[in-house]
Amino acid sequence: MTKGIDSMRDIEKMILEMSLRDKISQTEIVLMEKGKKINRKPGAAFFFGQIITEGDKAGLDELRSYVKEILDNSDIPPLITSDFENGCGSMVEALTPFPYMMGLGATNDPQIAYDYGKATALEGRSIGANWTFSPVSDLNINFRNPLINVRGMTDDAILAEKMLPQIVKGMQDYGLAACAKHFPGDGMDYRDQHVVTTKNTLSMDEWYDTYGRVYKSMISAGVESIMLGHIALPAYYDGEESQMPATLNKKLINDLLKGELGFKGVVITDALRMGGFMSWYPTRRQSEIEAIKAGCDMMLWPTEHYVDDIENAVLTGYIPEERINDAVRRILSLKNRLGLFEEDYEPFKLLTEEDKQFVKSVQTACSNQSITLIRDDLNVFPFDKNKIKNIGIVPIVEYSPVKEIALSMKDYFEERGFNVEIERDDIEEFYERNDVVIYELFSRPFRPQGFLDYTEGRAHMISTSFMGPNAREKNIVVSFGSPYFGNQYYERAKTYINAYSMLSCSVEAFVKAACGEIEFEGKSPVKLDR
């Protein structure tokens, strides 16, 4: 394993000594799958679950063993990465999940944002990660966007500019390289880039004042990498090629990102299996060649033929070797800044008890300060135990793995002396027995290939929620998912709260706020009708 890189001169010497195939391998990010060996030596390896599906259920020592195996088989230390978008617990069940980014935005607290990044770094480094594909830097301007929603912090560039750089600093101060995504900016289209190339439809003046402003702030904060989305920015220039996604668009990469914005770090693609990337050339293999030629530095999960294909493209003169050298220079410089070439580099920095307490405190602080009271027209909060003794709870759970979390609300209220029931047999009797009825809305924060709407069975529960006696006076609606449900489904509800995250800590934070133990401190980070 190469050690002792001290300067750019050393990096240039290293590049000169590398074979073409070795250099191309540095541009590859492979997906590590349990039980499968790889015979390649990639520049980076993606471990620890998938954000679109679910977290990894393996134990921490088991995960460390996978990381150690690829480290032991590498000549040049690889970057170890995952999508730690809302804490490491979003990808590894044995670690700590944080409220989604929009919950963090609701706190409006830069110190919590910094701590959010620091806590992610502490837990990530404990299992061998040195790079994260976060924070999500998209603005959720279109509430119908099926992919971002609460994954994004806000629809307000000023708030994003205030908070996102702090996350970056918190991560990178503690040895975890950050990645802003998805350039030129998701959250505008109603479609999903997993299916089709989507568009950021803003004019350039609008873009510079929103997404451009956010990315400039991230670059100024020293973000080490930026992920390109399969997203077009047609306003940037005229012509058919302006409809191409950033991952294949040399003007967006070289003229806008690396040129105008002056980004010197590593530019990576989003996953190459997505429809928004694969539909522009006859084959995915050709698309990968065009992406690296256009200016992408690292490729996320390319085909097994990738190194052969790029080598042939360079040897035939289709891709200049300097394009590869530039990518490798950026990659090795990042590895050097992370200390990967140092003799005393520690792949695993195990958590101390102090670290564990800090991580837990960040989760609690973010949860408590994110709960947002959108309307309380009946002045029901805080609960008066002289008036409210019996609580009915109606979980509307669109994502079944969190059903137990939804049911935990009953325990939290019972611990505080309330009588609580969840059964919903006869609607009239249910309302008559209870002083308030709490509707818990649990839905995945994003849904590839579809809107954030409820299916038929759950929709029926919503449609009947105002049928009970005095329903409007008794109903309390809390969304632990999309912040827009108060407008979409419950615009008639007199009492409505956004909690943003399907986590037990968020459920408990709502209960504490309802009982007056903490204030409703959250401020909506997105525009709502009311």
CA angle 322, 324, 328 (to 5 degrees): 115
What tokens were used for 351? Answer: 């958590």
- What pLDDT score does 2 carry? 46
Name the one residue in this structure whose structure tokens are 């990894």. Answer: 56
- What pLDDT score does 114 carry? 98
Shared domain check, 383 and 329: no
> Is residue 414, in this structure, part of any structural domain at all?
yes
pLDDT in tens, 163-186: 999 999 999 999 999 999 999 999
Residue 298 predicted with pLDDT over 50: yes
Shared domain check, 347 and 385: no
What tokens were used for 177? Answer: 């390289």
pLDDT in tens, 127-165: 999 999 999 999 999 998 888 999 999 999 999 999 999
- What pLDDT score does 400 carry? 81
| Residue 250: CB atoms within 10 Å | 16
Question: Among the three residues 353, 381, 412, which one is the final residue of a domain in this structure?
Answer: 353
Which of helix, strand or coil describes residue 409?
helix
Rounded-to-integer distance, Cα 391 and Cα 410, Å: 9
Residues of the chain with pLDDT > 70, as a percent, come to 95
Residues of the chain with pLDDT > 90, as a percent, come to 80
Shared domain check, 262 and 165: yes
Residue 453 predicted with pLDDT over 70: no
pLDDT in tens, 76-133: 999 999 999 999 998 998 999 999 999 999 999 999 999 999 999 999 999 999 999 9
Domain that holds residue 171: 8-353
Q: Which of 310-324, 388-402, 491-505 has the lowest mean pLDDT?
A: 388-402
Rounded-to-integer distance, Cα 207 and Cα 341, Å: 39
Shared domain check, 302 and 192: yes
> Is residue 144, in this structure, part of any structural domain at all?
yes
Shared domain check, 328 and 253: yes
CA angle 484, 275, 450 (to 5 degrees): 25
Q: Mean pLDDT in the chain?
A: 93
Q: How far is CA 325 from the centre of its chain?
A: 30
Where does 37-156 have alpha helices with state H? 60-72, 101-107, 110-126
- On the CB side of 499, CA atoms within 13 Å amount to 28
Provide the number of structural domains found in the chain. 2
What tokens were used for 458? Answer: 């759950």
> Is residue 3, in this structure, part of any structural domain at all?
no
1 confidence band (pLDDT: 50, 70, 90)? very low
Question: Among the three residues 326, 353, 380, which one is the final residue of a domain in this structure?
Answer: 353
Residue 461 predicted with pLDDT over 90: no
Residue 245 predicted with pLDDT over 70: yes
pLDDT in tens, 35-84: 677 778 999 999 877 665 566 777 899 889 989 999 998 999 999 999 99
Rounded-to-integer distance, Cα 157 and Cα 160, Å: 5
> Is residue 519, in this structure, part of any structural domain at all?
no
- Which residues fall within 8 angstroms of residue 187, CB to CB, at 6 or more apart? 138, 139, 140, 141, 142, 145, 148, 152, 155
E strand or H helix at 153, and its extent? none
Shared domain check, 349 and 380: no
E strand or H helix at 509, and its extent? helix 504-514
Determine whether 357 is exposed, middle or buried from the number of CB atoms within 10 Å of its CB (0-12, 13-18, 19+).
exposed
Supply the DSSP symbol for 458: H
Shared domain check, 346 and 405: no
Residue 401 predicted with pLDDT over 90: no
Residue 258 predicted with pLDDT over 90: yes
> Is residue 35, in this structure, part of any structural domain at all?
yes
> Is residue 459, in this structure, part of any structural domain at all?
yes
Peptide bond into 78 cis (omega under 30): no
Residue by residue, what is the 3-state secondary structure of 300-367?
Answer: ECCCCCHHHHHHHHHHCCCCCHHHHHHHHHHHHHHHHHCCCCCCCCCCCCCCCHHHHHHHHHHHHHHH
Residue 495 predicted with pLDDT over 50: yes
CA angle 132, 134, 135 (to 5 degrees): 145
Task: Give the CATH number of the domain where residue 315 resides.
Answer: 3.20.20.300
Rounded-to-integer distance, Cα 523 and Cα 156, Å: 12
Shared domain check, 341 and 413: no
User: What does the pLDDT average to over 284-311?
Assistant: 97
Antiparallel, parallel or unpaired: β 495-498 and 372-376: antiparallel
359 confidence band (pLDDT: 50, 70, 90)? very high
> Is residue 472, in this structure, part of any structural domain at all?
yes
Shared domain check, 437 and 335: no
Ranges of beta strands (E only) in 12-171 are 28-31, 44-46, 79-82, 131-132
User: What does the pLDDT average to over 292-299?
Assistant: 98
pLDDT in tens, 218-231: 999 999 999 999 99
- What pLDDT score does 452 carry? 59
Shared domain check, 173 and 68: yes
Supply the DSSP symbol for 92: B
- Closest residue by Cα to residue 524 from 503, 496, 502, 504: 496
Task: Give the CATH number of the domain where residue 443 resides.
Answer: 3.40.50.1700
- On the CB side of 2, CA atoms within 13 Å amount to 17
Rounded-to-integer distance, Cα 462 and Cα 505, Å: 25
> Is residue 1, in this structure, part of any structural domain at all?
no
Backbone angles phi, psi at 419, to 5 degrees: -90, 125
Shared domain check, 333 and 244: yes
Shared domain check, 458 and 327: no
pLDDT in tens, 402-442: 899 999 999 999 999 999 999 777 888 999 999 999 999 99
